[in-house]
Chain A
Amino acid sequence: MKDPGQNKISLENRFEALRFFCAIGIAILLSFVIIILVSREPFTALRNLFLGPLSSMRRFGNVVELAITLTFSGLAVAVMFSANQFNMGAEGSFYAAGAVAAMTALGLPLPPVIHPLFAILLGGLTGAVICAIPALLKAKWGASELVSSLMLNYVFFYFTRYFCNTVFKDPDSGYVSTYLLPLTAKLPRIIGGTRIHLGLFIVIAVTLLTVIFIKRTRWGYALIQTGRSPGFAGYSGINTSWVLIYSQLLGGFIAGVGGSVEVLGMYDRFQWQNLPGYGFDGVIVAILARNRPAWVPVAAFLLSYIRIGADRMSTATDVTSEMIAIIQGIIIMLVAAQAFMSRQRQKMLIKEIRSHG
């Protein structure tokens, strides 16, 4: 027997998907207009923007590589935001975990396989600690997690950079960086002609585990309910302070794993002299995915595709990559706007109901 209620829910989901892609469609249209206005060679620019990422194996590889990174940070932020905590610590976690993973790779001689695993684990724990601190400060003293996490990002950034730039610095390298990371610690490339590395499998696993955690486990349930209504969760007997802390620990851990995988998979040396910005990108990805872990990879791929396309466009033509920031902004606004296309949705519904009686 088919349940009519189920029908409506699936209609809702179908509509969400439709809306997501319409938002992107409109954003693309707007970028057409903008590029035609600012460029002397608009069609070359557009081709590069939208097809550039597909023009070679290496470039498509770039899209996947960046998407891996953005998926990690998007998942981290989605988990933390789901608990209704505006924790920006993913940024600091990403950097510090990358640094810690690099230091582990350099400082601890371990056999292959175990080496990267251990480095990633330590990186993850670093991230977990960094993101949990704002939650603890909030639980104890009511400090705004937004402010404290933003400040702490700098503390951990300078702290870990200091070690990388002193103890582990390679004086013979032509630029400021650590020694070469040992091969035992690095994540091997898996697809020829690209730099796509083993991190792809790790990110798939982490995404699946996060989806299962949120949708299928008791802890995930408690997390979501606490985020939606702390009053209700507390009254029901859920230990909301504990939820607050473990959600940030988990988010930070994912960000930390992301930072470690990025460094071990993509670089020969640790060389970040600034915050990489991936944590903040995670915020964009999480918002696009509406904090739903299953949608995070899609949103991450999309953002990554736009970024790489923009890179292509700005190197190959006269359109600056600033334009891309504008296009990104438009897409995010359209996707985030709840009411966008609500009329169409209503019409779809009425039609559906009339036809089913």
Chain B
Amino acid sequence: MAEDLLRMEGIVKIYSNGVVANNGVDFSVKAGEIHALVGENGAGKTTLMKILFGIEEATSGNLLLNGLRETIKSPIDAIQKGLGMVHQHFMLIESMTVAENIVLGMEPETGLLLNQKKILSDARNIIEKYNFPINPQDRIRDLPTGTRQKVEILKALFRNARILILDEPTSVLTPQETTELFEQLKTLKNLGHTIIFISHKLNEIKEICDRITIMRNAATVGVYEVAKISQQEISSLMVGKDIDLNLNKTPARPGETALRVRDLVVTDINKRRLLESVSFRLRRGEILGIVGVEGNGQRELVESITGLRKPEGGKVELWGKDLTSLSIKGIRRLGLAHIPQDRMSKGAALTSSIKENLISVAYDSPELSRGPLLNLKKIDRWCRDLIRDYQIKASSPEVPVKMLSGGNIQKVVVAREFSGDLGCIIADQPTRGIDVGAASFIHHKLLALRDSGAAILLISADLSEVMELSDSLLVMFGGRLAAYFESLSSVTEEELGLYMLGLKRQSDEEIKRCSA
């Protein structure tokens, strides 16, 4: 048996608010493997990796690198020992170029000034060495998520990382980007790198990982050869019981039109069209999916519908009322809920408590307030119910949301948006970063809401999720609708891919059916 390259023994981590995030975790990785780390939301995966990378200090436990006792005191220390980490939430500087971000902190020095030429050539070298399709002079803010992630990986490689930690790298990627990432990971593996891969998507793990460590409730459940364990087995080990991943979806029974989008036009400051005359309608009792490679107008569409952005042209009507002239409050009063893509700056206030996050939409409703006063008793009961129903893992409703795990933050957002009187739900990546069990819970919830008459617009980068849930489907490309499928029975992922990449486009007549 090969020596363990890295070994963590009996790791305990107690956070400053008293949460025991790791409770005697054992974790080891062999040289040259891709090792999966899985577990439910809040199981302690990110915490374990933060300890490994020197961001958090373990309360107790040992670390062995190449069989020798080591302590890692800081990320700088970790980098010097050959570790690299790509975080669940990216940490690039948006206004800087790719080259600057890669080299950042390790700039070649010539006196006081930065040597721009050297920075650029260094970045070029590493990009070529690993054969990543990136232009080092692009600014981060102009890049799609998939590319940003590659920059994060290159940043680690530039610092000579031999062990790469990837915390949920694929939860933000489109299927194409994921495929590309996997190619690159395989190349890295062949070059002798060791990779720790955290993901909630078990099919991905089956695809590229060699071994898997499963965590539950802050402890290790077991280590397995990926080839010898099924997805079903993995998920029951994670959850501690068998879970039913079958949706049992019944056919939709669409009712009257709830949301109607007419000739929507959005332009950026340079008058470039981001949305080009988009029209469709969404009926009660149906789930309409929208797929597309990120950056093809989905974001602008969602923002225009939900009132975060005033479109340059066209109309959005809910129950026949024009939303473009209403405030966000006004729009929400009409029964529109919105799960935003960006949970860190919109969907949640990180420094506020779970309770404060859960009531932000309904705090002034008659249920939760009495005149100008908040009804603290009712609020408390309401929050406890939501926390229980959505299994948000937290020690109390007063805990600040920033202390929750990524998936639990998402659950807070979903719980809030799914409560109240709903007519129409705009769900943008509703299960991003959520574990299998919770994702399946949200899927069931979406279907139940649909069956009770809600109109649901589902935007997701996860093709299989959209295809499983949607009753009909729109494909977006270049700010326009590229295809409409009234039912999904005959559509394949490959075919969708062609539309998503702009290689194929339905005729205008075919697309118009979606606004009939």
A residues adjacent to B (C-beta < 8 A): 3-6, 8-9, 11-12, 216-219, 221-222, 224-225, 228-229, 231-239, 342, 345-346, 349-350, 352-353
Contacts and interface: CB of A to CB of B under 8 A. Distances in A.
A5 B338 contact: no
A221 B327 CA distance: 19
B348 interface: yes
Given A238-B329, A238-B360, A231 B16 contact: no
Contact of A237 (B20, B328, B356, B398): B328
B202 interface: no
Contacts of A9: 396, 398
23 contacts: A3-B396, A5-B399, A8-B17, A8-B396, A9-B396, A216-B374, A217-B373, A217-B374, A218-B372, A224-B352, A224-B356, A225-B349, A229-B351, A229-B352, A232-B345, A232-B347, A232-B360, A235-B328, A235-B347, A237-B327, A238-B329, A239-B327, A349-B18
B480 to A, nearest CB: 26
Interface string B350-370: 111000110111011000010
Contacts of A216: 373-374, 376
Contacts of B59: 350
A232 B348 contact: yes
A340 to B, nearest CB: 13
A139 B119 CA distance: 41
A209 to B, nearest CB: 12
B504 interface: no
Contacts of A222: 363
Given A9-B396, A218-B364, A345-B16, 13 more contacts: A3-B396, A4-B395, A5-B399, A216-B373, A232-B357, A232-B360, A233-B349, A235-B306, A235-B308, A235-B338, A237-B332, A238-B360, A349-B17
B345 A5 contact: no
The 8 closest A-B pairs by CB, nearest first: A5-B396, A237-B329, A229-B349, A236-B360, A5-B395, A8-B18, A232-B349, A235-B346
A142 to B, nearest CB: 16
Given A218-B364, A231-B346, A12 B17 contact: yes
Interface string B375-419: 010000000000000000011111100000000000000000000
A222 B359 CA distance: 11
B309 to A, nearest CB: 11
B351 A228 contact: yes
B39 interface: no
A5 B19 CA distance: 9
Interface string B477-511: 00000000000000000000000000000000000
B55 to A, nearest CB: 15
Nearest to A15: B16
B384 to A, nearest CB: 10
B345 A229 contact: yes
Contact of A217 (B338, B350, B372, B399): B372
